[in-house]
A and B are shown apart, each in its own frame.
Chain A
Amino acid sequence: MKTIEGTYSAETPLNTFWTNVRKAWYKFSRNRMSVLGLATVLIVSLLAIFAPFIAPYPAHAGRFVNFAEANQPPSAQHLLGTDVVGRDVLSRILFGYRYSLTMGIIVLLLVVPPGVVLGLVAGYWKGKWIDTIVMRITDIFLAVPPLVLALAIASVLKPNLTNAMIAVSLMWWPWYARLVYGVTSSIRTEFFVQAAEVTGASKAHILFREILPNCVSPILTKISLDMGWVILMGASLSFVGLGVQPPAPGLGTMVADGAKYMPDSWWIAVFPAIAIMIVVLGFNLLGDGLRDVLSVEEV
């Protein structure tokens, strides 16, 4: 007995935490694709954060014209060429990543908390009126193809980045509600929940301290995958003209503008398009890796 008590001394919890992290990293790093995803996400984030210092021509991200250097193909001076008014495409892509990542982070910040709370509440009171109301509303939102709904909402508002984020957020929360609902309704009859109920724990304690920790893995995985999808959705909105407004460099806006000058000035559209692909792929690979490490099946 003594030895057993001795093993679980005060420093052990910390120790097991780091051991777990190390184990998780070992498992994660076995999969080369996951590591590639993580590296992509890190690099893109760093590029976005330090864009003003890294970009060769930071001024080109805004209201800038230089017709003398317009439409230049990729060269040593302009690695990815220049657009029709002479702005450096590479610089604009780096600043475009800033808008994309900002949009992803803010939308998920707006969407995850209400979605999770609604899912918890509806799942815990499964079969009650609150479950019916919440989940039927969820179903209604999920009954339209997501981009169509986001486009419709964005179209009635003023076209800008804020409203694009509002539009995407309004149609994104149901996915989290449904995810958390699934987990909650399946574990709400487990013994540890019943134990908390019997000992008179408050509903808030049961929902947030007993049930919520069990939803963290799927939520984290979904957040990682969704970063890519939200960025894509933002790019799609700005492609149509309902997102980031010119002269600010939205990646989707750049593709849409560049498409007009194909095939002669192909680089104006193609490089921003590839930039979108890279960031979405990165978050996808990362999310897949997390899914494996955290053994999530629901997402």
Chain B
Amino acid sequence: MSFSSFLIRRLFYSIVILIGLSMLIFAISRIMPGDPARLALGARAPDEVVQQWRDWMHLDDPIHVQYYYWIRDALHGKLGQSLWTRRDVSIDIRTFLPATMELVLFSGIIMTVFGIVLGAISARYKNTWVDNVVRMGSYFGVATPAFVIAILLMLLFGYLLRILPTMGRLDAVFTTPPVRTGLLTIDALLAGDFAACWNAITHLIMPAIALALGGMAQEARITRSSMADNMLKDYIAVERSLKIPARVINLKYLLKPSLIPTVSILGLDFAALLSNAFLVELIFGWPGLSRYGVEAMVRKDINAVTGVVLIMGVLFITVNILVDIIVGYLDPRIRLRAEGG
């Protein structure tokens, strides 16, 4: 079996998971106590209207028929109307998703880069004060919830030092650049508006760090321990005795294989990013999909909730496929095993 057919199987498996996930989400949306039609239309709506709404949503059909209608519409990009914004959920998602993507991408980069660099430094200077500082820091980083970090950052940089904005994506004095990618920083750059781009970056910094810190600490810990393990391996001693430059040994022969466990847990860290985005976006007034999701959840806006959870699941599954591909690239054993049988 070649690596590509390994990937095809992986993709096929992901589709199976996705179908299962859609059933799970659908089931959640139907366990809600009370009449969804009543909830959508309010207590004072006439009975005929409620009945009409029930017919429209197929609520009187058996559950598997309801699921069929729901999944058919979902595959056509129709996720129903949001009871809160009174718009199509798919339109809402298109409006709010880019902001979340920008935040998650930015903090994903911070998390991975700084996590690996800190872990590598910590391993390189093992048992020195540098190592101790990084390890202590990562203990706190792992255990501190993102929303606690968000609040502390906000107090420190937003209110005490007043060097970073605390709310939203862009100050009101700037005109929003024309939407091309949906990522404000990049749109502003494309529009040649450097001031707006810088302003957007300053808005990103705090929420992104609040999101990234936990995963970063985890990545640093794992990179450190796997590098420290590999340092003692015989092949490194052989390479040292062959007078291969230390820089080459450290980067090519030590860091690269040591990154396998680091990358393997990236998927989980990404899940934490997406989860925590729900709280961090709320704190920083970030107009993203997660904040939309929370508002929808608090308002029992069932179509919006299912839509948001579905999108989060798709994102998460996609990232896990990417992680598998990268691990396959880093770890020839996995590729060889896949090719061997």
Q: Is the CB of A143 within 8 A of B278?
A: no
Q: Is the CB of B145 within 8 A of A276?
A: yes
Closest to A141 in B: B24
Chain B at the A interface: SS class: helix
Cβ 8 A contact of A148, one of B20, B31, B154, B278:
B278
Cα distance, A61 to B223, chains bound together (Å): 44
Closest to A140 in B: B20
Q: Does B144 contact A (CB under 8 A)?
A: yes
Cβ 8 A contact of B148, one of A143, A146, A157, A277:
A277
Q: Is the CB of B297 within 8 A of A240?
A: yes
Closest to B302 in A: A156
Give the residues in chain B near A280, CB-CB below 8 Å. Answer: 143-145
Q: Mark A250-289, 1 if CB is under 8 A from B, else 0.
A: 0000010001001100100110011011001100110000
Give the residues in chain B near A65, CB-CB below 8 Å. Answer: none
Q: Is the CB of B151 within 8 A of A157?
A: no
Q: Mark A56-80, 1 if CB is under 8 A from B, else 0.
A: 0000000000000000000000000
If the complex has contacts A155-B305, A241-B298, A263-B160, are A273 and B25 also in contact, measured as CB distance less than 8 A?
Answer: no
Closest to A167 in B: B28
Q: Does A139 contact B (CB under 8 A)?
A: yes
Q: Is the CB of A232 within 8 A of B145?
A: yes
Q: Is the CB of B148 within 8 A of A240?
A: no
Closest to A137 in B: B20
Give the residues in chain B near A255, CB-CB below 8 Å. Answer: 147-148, 151
The stretch from B109-117, B183-191, B269-277 touching chain A is B269-277
Cβ 8 A contact of A157, one of B16, B24, B33, B274:
B33
A-B CB contact pairs (8 Å), 14 listed: A143-B18, A144-B312, A144-B316, A149-B309, A156-B31, A156-B33, A156-B302, A232-B145, A240-B278, A240-B282, A240-B298, A242-B298, A270-B151, A273-B152
Q: Is the CB of B300 within 8 A of A239?
A: no
Q: Is the CB of B139 within 8 A of A152?
A: no
Q: Is the CB of B21 within 8 A of A152?
A: no
Total interface residues on B, using CB and 8 Å? 52
* Number of interchain pairs (Cβ within 8 Å): 137
Cβ 8 A contact of B312, one of A145, A232, A274:
A145
Distance to closest chain B CB from A118 (angstroms): 16
Mark B residues whose CB is within 8 Å of A.
16-18, 20-21, 23-25, 28-29, 31-33, 139-140, 142-145, 147-148, 151-152, 154-155, 158-160, 271-272, 274-276, 278-279, 282-283, 293-294, 296-298, 300, 302, 305-306, 308-309, 312-313, 316-317
Closest to A33 in B: B139
Give the residues in chain B near A33, CB-CB below 8 Å. Answer: 139
Q: Is the CB of A262 within 8 A of B300?
A: no
Q: Does A94 contact B (CB under 8 A)?
A: no
Mark A residues whose CB is within 8 Å of B.
33, 136-137, 139-141, 143-149, 151-158, 228, 232, 235-236, 239-242, 255, 259, 262-263, 266, 269-270, 273-274, 276-277, 280-281, 284-285
Distance to closest chain B CB from A240 (angstroms): 6
Q: Is the CB of B316 within 8 A of A236?
A: no
Closest to B320 in A: A143
Cα distance, A285 to B139, chains bound together (Å): 8
Q: Is the CB of B28 within 8 A of A156?
A: yes
Give the residues in chain A near B21, CB-CB below 8 Å. Answer: 140, 143-144
Give the residues in chain A near B151, CB-CB below 8 Å. Answer: 255, 259, 262, 269-270, 273
Cα distance, A151 to B308, chains bound together (Å): 11
Q: Is the CB of B143 within 8 A of A148?
A: no
Give the residues in chain A near B296, CB-CB below 8 Å. Answer: 155
Distance to closest chain A CB from B322 (angstroms): 15
Cα distance, A270 to B313, chains bound together (Å): 32
Q: Is the CB of A155 within 8 A of B145?
A: no
If the complex has contacts A143-B313, A145-B274, A281-B140, are A240 and B20 also in contact, measured as CB distance less than 8 A?
Answer: no
Q: Is the CB of A140 within 8 A of B275?
A: no
If the complex has contacts A153-B28, A155-B298, A285-B139, are A235 and B312 also in contact, measured as CB distance less than 8 A?
Answer: no
Closest to B290 in A: A148
Distance to closest chain A CB from B277 (angstroms): 9
Distance to closest chain B CB from A257 (angstroms): 12
Give the residues in chain A near B20, CB-CB below 8 Å. Answer: 136-137, 139-140, 143
Closest to A280 in B: B143
Closest to B299 in A: A155
Cα distance, A143 to B20, chains bound together (Å): 10
Cα distance, A158 to B148, chains bound together (Å): 26
Distance to closest chain B CB from A165 (angstroms): 16
Cα distance, A145 to B32, chains bound together (Å): 21
Q: Is the CB of A236 within 8 A of B297?
A: no
Give the residues in chain A near B302, CB-CB below 8 Å. Answer: 156
Cβ 8 A contact of A273, one of B142, B148, B274, B300:
B148
Give the residues in chain B near A239, CB-CB below 8 Å. Answer: 147, 279, 282
> 3 closest A-B pairs (Cβ-Cβ)?
A147-B275, A263-B159, A155-B297
Cα distance, A294 to B102, chains bound together (Å): 42
Distance to closest chain A CB from B129 (angstroms): 16
Distance to closest chain B CB from A228 (angstroms): 7
Cα distance, A241 to B21, chains bound together (Å): 25
Q: Is the CB of A236 within 8 A of B145?
A: yes
Q: Is the CB of A148 within 8 A of B312?
A: yes
Cβ 8 A contact of A151, one of B32, B152, B293:
B293
Cα distance, A91 to B17, chains bound together (Å): 46
